[in-house]
Amino acid sequence: MSDAVLEFSGPDVRSVLQGQTTKNFQTLSLNVAIDGAFCDLKGRVIADFTAVMTSDDRALLRTNAGVALSLQTHLGKYLMFSKTTLTLLPWNCWGCSHSSPPIGSDDLIVVPRSPSLYEVWCDNTCAPDHVITQDAWRYQRLLRGEARICEATMHQFLPQDLNYDLQGIIDFDKGCYTGQEIIARLHYRGSPKRRLSIISIPGSITPSVNDKVVDADTSKAVGSIVEVTQTDTGWLGLSEVVVDARERSLQVNDVGVLIHALQP
């Protein structure tokens, strides 16, 4: 996994993360993993994360490695006046597949993702047992509709574009946080114009993140690729597209693609 682990430590950890993320850290129990996001003032997603509070003054967050560096800079102005330090840990993250995950601890975080899939974060340079390849892990994650932000897609999408509101990544009852007003207004007073879908792409092209999804009849862009991974027969991608995309003939790089709706 191309990920990094950030450590937030100090007596103000809960309040800092409460005010900067889409999840409720004030009521989060210790050693329980949650998925959330950091957003900018326009409500656009800066970073997605999985977090675990190992104590009341220590939280560990796993996010994309490239995004982690930018996130540190972004949060600097908010941490300046709080009793919280932010450290990029020299940890590794792995995706594993087995029916019996290891037991976690403060320095070995285990996050179940399905009955047989789980993440392991730790400072051990030796991989744990039952590690699967990054491509295999990403393929399973994309099938579950779990969109991740990378450096190339920071500040581009509203959480609703990525189905984060349908997946419990946004807590609409937690109160204020950066970007909350715009995100809540769309939730309560509007309806998303775009949603996340799975797309199947033939092997005749090599798609990339941010490639446009085009309506073949109008030649207008109706979405873009958020993530993509190679399969035995071509490519599997997650794309944010207009809500009526399944009724259109879609192309990526002038090649027809198939679209599959995700289940809420």
Pairing mode of beta strands 108-112, 45-55:
unpaired
User: Which of these three, 119, 154, 183, is where a domain ends?
Assistant: 183
- Indicate whether this model's pTM tops 0.85: yes
- Dump pLDDT digits (tens) for 166-213: 999 999 999 999 999 999 999 999 999 999 999 999 998 999 999 999
Residues 99, 176, single domain; the answer is: yes
Residues 129, 223, single domain; the answer is: no
Residues 53, 108, single domain; the answer is: yes
Residues 89, 208, single domain; the answer is: no
- Dump pLDDT digits (tens) for 112-130: 999 999 999 999 778 899 9
Residues 121, 249, single domain; the answer is: no
- Dump pLDDT digits (tens) for 28-52: 999 999 999 999 999 999 999 999 9
